[in-house]
Amino acid sequence: MQGSGRTLNVQRLLLLGRIWTRRALILALRVSRLVVTALRHLRPGLRYMWKSLLRRWRRSLEFRTVMMTILLSVISFAVVGAYLSNQIANNLFQERLTQAESESRYYVKQVQDTFDGAQVNDQSSVITLVYDTLNAVEGNGSVIQRRYVFEALPEQTKPRNRWVESRASDQLTVRVIPPELRKAVQESGKEQYWASTEFPVGNQDHPGIAVGNKVTFNGTVYELYLLYDLENAQQTLDQIQNVLWAGGAALIIMIGGIAWYVTRNVVSPVSHAAVVSEKLAAGQLQERMVVKGEDEVARLGASFNHMAASLQEQITQLATLSQMQQRFVSDVSHELRTPLTTVRMAAEVLFDARENFDPVNRRSAELLYNQVERFQSLLSDLLEISRFDAGAAVLEAEPQDIFQLIGQVIEGAAPVAAEYGSEVRLTSRNKSIIVEMDSRRIDRILRNLLLNAVEHGEGKPVHVTVAANHDAVAVSVRDHGIGMTPAEAARVFDRFWRADPARARTTGGSGLGLSIAAEDTKLHNGWLQAWGQKGAGSNFRLTLPLRKGGTIVKSPLHLEPHDLGLPGTAADRQVLLVDTQEALPRATDVVPPDQQGTADDGGAQEAGEAGRA
pLDDT value at 560 more than 70 = yes
C-beta separation of 557 from 533 below 8 A: no
Query: How confident is the model at residue 276, as a pLDDT?
Result: 83
Query: How confident is the model at residue 610, as a pLDDT?
Result: 30
| Buried b / exposed e along 224-251 (16+ C-beta atoms within 10 A) | bbbbbbbeebbeebeeebeebeeebeee
Cα separation, 431 vs 437, in Å, equals 18
For residue 73, the surrounding DSSP H or E stretch is: helix 61-116
Query: How confident is the model at residue 503, as a pLDDT?
Result: 47
Domains of the chain, by residue range, sit at 27-56, 60-284, 288-393, 395-612
Residues contacting residue 335 through CB under 8 Å, at least 6 positions apart: none
CATH architecture of 60-284: 2-Layer Sandwich (3.30)
C-beta separation of 438 from 549 below 8 A: no
Predicted model pTM: 0.47
Q: Which CATH superfamily, name and number, covers 395-612?
A: Histidine kinase-like ATPase, C-terminal domain (3.30.565.10)
- Distances in whole angstroms, Cα of residue 220 to Cα of each of 115, 158, 188, 217, 242: 11, 8, 16, 5, 49
| Buried b / exposed e along 67-78 (16+ C-beta atoms within 10 A) | bebbeebeeebe
pLDDT value at 475 more than 90 = yes
**24 vs 39, higher pLDDT:** 24
Q: For the packed helices 296-352 and 231-281, what is the interaxial angle rounded to 10 degrees?
A: 30
Percent of the chain's residues with pLDDT above 90: 7
Q: Range with the lowest mean pLDDT among 11-25, 375-389, 435-449?
A: 375-389
Mean pLDDT, residues 41-46 taken together: 75
Question: Confidence band (pLDDT; 50, 70, 90) for 462?
Answer: very high
Mean pLDDT, residues 579-585 taken together: 35
How do beta strands 193-201 and 166-168 pair? unpaired
Query: How confident is the model at residue 143, as a pLDDT?
Result: 57
Mean pLDDT, residues 409-432 taken together: 88
Mean pLDDT, residues 144-163 taken together: 76
Sheet containing 574-578: order of strands: 527-533, 537-545, 472-479, 462-468, 424-428, 574-578, 585-586
Q: How many residues does the chain have?
A: 613
How do beta strands 527-533 and 204-217 pair? unpaired
Angle, CA 462 vertex, CA 456 and CA 466 arms, to 5°: 130
End-to-end CA distance of the chain: give it in Å, rounded: 118
Question: Confidence band (pLDDT; 50, 70, 90) for 391?
Answer: low
Fold assignment, 288-393: Helix Hairpins (1.10.287)
Cα separation, 487 vs 532, in Å, equals 9
DSSP 133-170: HHHHH-EE-SSSEEEEEEEEPSSS---TT----EEEGG
Mean pLDDT, residues 75-80 taken together: 90
Ranges of H-type helices in 197-295: 231-281
Mean pLDDT, residues 41-51 taken together: 78
C-beta separation of 574 from 406 below 8 A: no
Cα–Cα nearest to 403, from 451, 444, 439: 439
3-state helix, strand, coil in the chain (%, to 5): 60, 15, 25
pLDDT value at 572 more than 60 = no
Residues contacting residue 450 through CB under 8 Å, at least 6 positions apart: 409, 410, 413, 424, 462, 464, 477
Cα separation, 598 vs 596, in Å, equals 7
Q: For residue 190, give the amino acid letter.
A: K
Q: For residue 53, give the amino acid letter.
A: L
DSSP 98-114: HHHHHHHHHHHHHHHHH
Query: How confident is the model at residue 10, as a pLDDT?
Result: 67
pLDDT value at 568 more than 50 = no
**431 vs 371, higher pLDDT:** 431
Mean pLDDT, residues 158-176 taken together: 76
C-beta separation of 382 from 540 below 8 A: no
Query: How confident is the model at residue 165, as a pLDDT?
Result: 78
**183 vs 594, higher pLDDT:** 183
Query: How confident is the model at residue 467, as a pLDDT?
Result: 92
C-beta separation of 410 from 585 below 8 A: yes
CB atoms within 10 A of CB 204: 8
C-beta separation of 57 from 67 below 8 A: yes
pLDDT value at 330 more than 70 = no
Mean pLDDT of the chain: 78
CB atoms within 10 A of CB 378: 18
Cα–Cα nearest to 483, from 551, 536, 519: 536
DSSP 321-373: HHHHHHHHHHHHHHHHHHHHHHHHHHHHHHHHTGGGS-HHHHHHHHHHHHHHH
CB atoms within 10 A of CB 586: 14
395-612 shares the fold of 288-393: no
Query: How confident is the model at residue 141, as a pLDDT?
Result: 53
Percent of the chain's residues with pLDDT above 70: 83
pLDDT value at 265 more than 60 = yes
Cα separation, 168 vs 224, in Å, equals 10
Q: Which DSSP letter does residue 597 get?
A: P
Q: For residue 453, give the amino acid letter.
A: A
In DSSP terms, 151 is beta-bridged to 166, 223
Query: How confident is the model at residue 576, as a pLDDT?
Result: 41
Query: How confident is the model at residue 159, as a pLDDT?
Result: 62
Q: Range with the lowest mean pLDDT among 135-144, 172-181, 521-530, 552-561?
A: 135-144
SS3 assignment, position 486 = helix
Query: How confident is the model at residue 570, as a pLDDT?
Result: 37
